[in-house]
Structure 1
Amino acid sequence: MSTKHQSVYNLGSSKPKIADSAWIAPSATIVGAVTVGSQSGIWFNCVLRGDDNTIQIGARSNIQDGSVIHIDPGEFDVVIGDDVTVGHSCLIHGCHLEDRAFVGMASTVMNGCIIEPDGVLGARSLLTSGKRVRSGELWTGSPAKLVRRLSEEEIRNFRKTAQSYVRKGERFRSELNQE
């Protein structure tokens, strides 16, 4: 697969910066002030729109199919650290997901939120503006609330997801082709 991405766009002087080792699915759209780190994956039908602020994604993070990442035109950028997992069909808006954070499928994280390292937001959850998921906590629900502390084994298992997506990205970079 070519390293040239069909759906990556400059917006005026704002240009996406994508590491050569990142996997960008052909149907993903990346616009403006977006940085994607090494071995990270932006999967099918994702939209990352850095029009009025910045989106930064660290190394080995995965933004799974159908997710949308956008910023707030005011004070809220998006910072996604290293080894972060954002599940399928999530909405990430004006927030910070620190290293090894995990956002479950179909969840929403709103402006000013922070998910600390090894913090987990469960599937189909709504983390309302300004909330903080602390390291080792599991939050779920709509609106999301603290459910409990994660065990060390659970934290290790959540970390494996990011590692598996690095391998998937490498496979897709080398094997995906169109008939």
Structure 2
Amino acid sequence: MNADSRFPGATILPFEGKYPQIHETAFVAPGARIIGDVTIGAQASIWYNCVLRGDIHRIEVGARSNVQDGSVFHVEGPRPDTDGCPTIIGEDCVIGHMALVHGATLEDRAFVGMGAIAMDDCRIGSGAMLAAGALLSPGKAIPAGEIWIGRPAKFLRRQDETQIAKIRFQTERYCKLAQRHLAALSGLGHGPPEN
């Protein structure tokens, strides 16, 4: 079953009356699973075999952000000691392949490297980076513009202009790449028809 026919091959399902809201310019690849209270912004891209499960809280992916292949987003629901933790991804964020983001917030232009984990109630500041393979423990915050590495993640250094430019490049590249994949899938009969 797919509640959104714009994305054949993807599983897009409501949960308890909450339907995913996906902007008309977003890309959701075949094999992706989008469930429940999930909002995906303009020109954002959700790649092959990602899972975004908004069942016990909400997930938001901002405009032009990309969630790369195999990544998993989930949330922490309300408990006696907390209202829970949604997963909130700002605009122009890069989420590397196989990342796990669980009840965390990424501010605009944040970067989560391949295989990294951001846990409940974490915050990654604007332009900050959680490096590949790193683990950001519950409740930790990476200040804007910093790079953190390791398990558990610790401060390495501040971003420089070269690294910031690379993140900008990755965001722009993925917006264009999503359109190329959409065109290729359309040619195979797996995308929206030409107008």
Give the shorter-chain TM-score range: over 0.9
Shift of 1:154: 1.4
Asked if 1:44 is matched to 2:48, the reply is yes
Q: Quick one: which amino acid aligns to residue 102 of structure 1?
A: F
- Which structure's relative contact order is higher, taking Cα pairs within 8 Å and 6+ residues apart? 1
CA RMSD of superposed structures (Å): 1.2
In 2 relative to 1, CA 30–157 (structure 1 residues): closer, same or farther, beyond 3 Å?
same
Matches within 5 A, 1:45-84: 45-74=49-78, 75-84=84-93
Q: Which residue of 1 aligns with 2:192?
A: none
Whether the 8 Å contact between 2:7 and 2:30 is mirrored in structure 1 is: no
Which structure 2 segments of 5+ residues have no match?
Answer: 79-83, 190-195
| Structure 2 length-normalised TM | 0.88
Q: Quick one: which amino acid aligns to residue 164 of structure 1?
A: R
Q: Quick one: which amino acid aligns to residue 125 of structure 1?
A: A
Aligned pairs, how many? 178
Shift of 1:4: 4.0
Q: Which residue of 2 aligns with 1:10?
A: 14
Q: Quick one: which amino acid aligns to residue 168 of structure 1?
A: L
Shift of 1:121: 0.7
Matches within 5 A, 1:136-147: 136-147=145-156
Shift of 1:136: 1.1
Greater alpha carbon shift after TM alignment, 151-160 vs 132-141: 151-160
Question: Could you give the per-residue CA deviations for residues 58-85 of structure 1, whole angstroms, max 9, x where no partner exists?
Answer: 1000000000000001220011010000
Distance in 1 between residues matched to 2:145 and 2:120, nearest whole Å? 21
Matches within 5 A, 1:156-171: 156-171=165-180
- Structure 1 residue runs of 4 or more that deviate by more than 6 Å after TM superposition: none
Larger radius of gyration: 2
Which structure 1 segments of 5+ residues have no match?
Answer: none
Identity %: 42
Distance in 1 between residues matched to 2:16 and 2:157, nearest whole Å? 46
Greater alpha carbon shift after TM alignment, 147-156 vs 60-69: 147-156
